[in-house]
């Protein structure tokens, strides 16, 4: 069976999007500027719907800053390309 695969080079990964599950508004955070000063534990929906973004109590550290730090570190790797791979599911609504 044929498949479509999307490969995203980590070098091209510059933004993290937080999409509100309540209203769909998105907050884009730059990986280059994301550090420990902005914690997801303190974020609320940018559209003002009142939704508060929560991290489980067992993970009370700045998880977004950690993710950004790891991405920045991986961008410095020499000798190989690091890619995220997404398998694109077939369009179930297509006409055959
Ligand atoms: Zn919202």
* 44 CA from centroid of ligand 1 (Å): 8
- The DSSP annotation for the chain comes to ---EEEEEEGGG--EEEEE-TTT--EEEEETTT--TTS-GGG-B-TT-S--B----GGG-S-HHHHHHHHHHHHHT--SS--EEEEEEPP-TT---
pTM metric for this prediction: 0.69
For the cut 70, the answer to whether the pLDDT of residue 33 exceeds it is yes
Q: How far apart are CA 32 and CA 17, in angstroms?
A: 14
* 90 CA from centroid of ligand 1 (Å): 30
**Overall average pLDDT of the 70-76 stretch:** 92
pLDDT given for residue 10 in this prediction: 92
More reliable by pLDDT, 26 or 55 = 26
């Amino acid at each position: 069976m044929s498949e479509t695969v999307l490969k995203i080079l980590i070098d091209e990964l510059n933004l993290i999007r937080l999409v509100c599950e309540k209203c769909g508004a998105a907050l884009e955070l730059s990986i280059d500027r994301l550090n420990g000063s902005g914690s997801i534990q303190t974020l609320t929906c940018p559209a003002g719907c009142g939704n508060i973004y929560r991290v489980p109590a067992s993970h009370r550290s700045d998880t977004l800053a950690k993710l950004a730090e790891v991405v920045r570190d991986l961008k410095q790797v020499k000798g190989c390309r690091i890619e995220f791979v997404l398998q694109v599911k077939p369009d179930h609504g297509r006409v055959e």
